[in-house]
Amino acid sequence: MGHDHGQQNRENSRRVSAALCLTGVFMVVEVAGGIISGSLALLADAGHMLTDTMALGLSAYAFRVATKPADASRSYGYLRAQIIAAFVNGLSLLVIVGWILFEAVMRLIEPPDVIGSTMLVVASIGLMVNVVSFLILHGGDQDNLNVRGAALHVLGDLLGSVAAIVAAVVIIRTGWMPIDPILSMLVAMLILRSAWRLVKRSAHILLEGAPEWFDVDDMREKIMKFVPEVIEIHHVHVWGLTPQHPMLTMHVVLANLIADTTPIVRRVKEVLSREFAVDHSTIEIEFGDCADH
């Protein structure tokens, strides 16, 4: 299991690094195109790509940190670095949304002139770059919040490029300038929903929340079914270092006094691993009153 996670993290890291290179290179082109054309859609997308470059860099760095072995000060290792990166990336997306909405309102009040042809060329190139980056990240582990956070940043860029292309075509054909900030606001609202979900999920893990899929009552029933010596389970605590690394502690009460409880603990752990993918658990055996009472 550990080998699989390590190999998966290396693959995720390579994908994020590739997307980082593509995004960073094109960001410079899009900044120049946005300034020359005067397009908010391009500038908003360029600003988004600037933060994406930093976000992807943070994600790539988090994957490297996560491979560090556990030590005396970090007994669980550094896997949580990925969740911190996802949380920061989600917050940065919320800031970007706020900036785009503010600029869009200002431009609706005083619409500037936009050079549609320059905007169209730059946005079209940006769309191709963003599609490639998104496909690279989408091929990674979608249960990994760090990969998902990076992919959401790139998806926001992709939507921004589409909006800029549509706005450029409308401006070239009709000269209607408000389409630029209007489409920017639409993209911002699409990004907002995904960003909030990313922040919510990563914050849930950072606050030691139980995995959404874990059913404690179901766990009790299955353990007492497969390990009949167990008559009660309490003091259950479930959390995760990442969505792929659930952790559990609990007290297990046995019906009869047994000298060697190790075989029973092993059977309980087998149920947890087989039925709930929990490979790291700490189980306290009791025969009467709970020691914590």
SS3 280: strand
Beta bridge partners of 203: none
Indicate the pTM of the whole model: 0.73
Q: Hey, where are the domains in the chain?
A: 2-206, 216-286
SS3 76: coil
Give Cα 241 distance to the centre of its chain: 14
Output the six-digit token pair for 117. Answer: 């042809």
Residue 140 burial (C-beta neighbours within 10 Å; 0-12, 13-18, 19+): buried
Q: What is the DSSP letter of 282?
A: E
**pLDDT digits over 169-221, tens only?**
998 998 888 888 888 888 788 778 778 888 898 899 899 999 888 999 999 99
Which CATH number among 1.20.1510.10, 3.40.190.290, 1.20.140.10, 2.10.109.10 corresponds to the domain 2-206?
Answer: 1.20.1510.10
d(CA 186, CA 166): 12
Q: What is the DSSP letter of 202?
A: H
Using 50, 70 and 90 to split pLDDT, how confident is the model at 148?
confident
The pLDDT of residue 1 is 43
Between these two residues, 47 and 188, which has the higher pLDDT value?
188
The pLDDT of residue 133 is 85
The pLDDT of residue 271 is 96
d(CA 55, CA 47): 12
Domain 216-286 belongs to what architecture? 2-Layer Sandwich (3.30)
Q: What is the mean pLDDT of the chain?
A: 83
**pLDDT digits over 95-131, tens only?**
888 888 888 888 888 877 777 787 788 788 888 888 9
**SS3 per-residue string spanning 142-157:** CCCHHHHHHHHHHHHH
d(CA 167, CA 184): 9
